[in-house]
């Protein structure tokens, strides 16, 4: 498998992991919303019931904060770091291909046409690596925003 295919595969794998984190985050938010709805529906008849509700609410806040960290923030940091590495790797390979294009562009005489064709191929590969790196960065940024939104929502429910 070539380096470009490696980059694309790694991006796809990180995207799958990110999708799983978002899905888990959405599930955690839904669970928290359902619990909050149940708490909101309780009839408070005296101070003892109020104390029980306050304790349950504080427990829910603690759970929501823990879930925000363990189910959303930390896993998404791993995905984000992975996509950052993929982007850096793509940039590195693009730089190499651009250097290769520069090297073969210097061909002269009978080799000029071959050098020109080879230069175009290296430039195209450099462009493909650039596009793959940019794609990884876009995916990373989208996931970071989704994770932040889900985490903030989860932490603010109670």
Segment 25-36, tens digit of pLDDT: 999 999 999 999
| pLDDT on residue 1 | 67
Q: Is the predicted pLDDT of residue 120 greater than 70, yes or no?
A: yes
Among the ranges given (2-16, 40-54, 60-74), the one the predictor scored with the smallest mean pLDDT:
40-54
109 or 139, greater pLDDT: 139
User: Rounded mean pLDDT of 108-119?
Assistant: 86
Domain that holds residue 13: 3-153
| pLDDT on residue 106 | 83
Tokens of 107: 């061909």
Could you give the number of structural domains in the chain?
1
| pLDDT on residue 114 | 86
List the alpha helices (DSSP H) in 41-73: 47-67
Q: Is 22 exposed, middle or buried (0-12, 13-18, 19+ CB in 10 A)?
A: buried
Q: Give the whole-number percent of the chain exceeding pLDDT 70.
A: 99
Report yes or no on 72 lying in a domain: yes
Report yes or no on 103 lying in a domain: yes
Report yes or no on 158 lying in a domain: no
């Amino acid at each position: 498998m070539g380096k470009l295919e490696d980059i694309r595969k790694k991006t796809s794998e990180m995207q799958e992991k990110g999708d799983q984190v978002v899905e888990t985050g959405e599930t955690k938010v839904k669970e928290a919303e359902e619990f909050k709805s149940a708490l909101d529906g309780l009839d408070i008849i005296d101070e003892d019931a109020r104390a029980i509700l306050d304790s349950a609410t504080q427990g829910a806040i603690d759970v929501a904060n823990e879930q925000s960290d363990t189910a959303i923030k930390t896993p998404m940091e791993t995905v984000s770091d992975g996509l950052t590495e993929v982007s850096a790797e793509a940039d590195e390979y693009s730089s190499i291909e651009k250097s290769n294009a520069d090297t073969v562009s210097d061909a002269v005489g009978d080799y000029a046409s071959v050098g020109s064709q080879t230069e175009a191929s290296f430039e195209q590969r450099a462009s493909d690596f650039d596009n793959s790196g940019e794609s990884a960065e876009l995916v990373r940024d989208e996931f970071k925003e989704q994770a932040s939104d889900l985490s903030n929502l989860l932490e603010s429910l109670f």
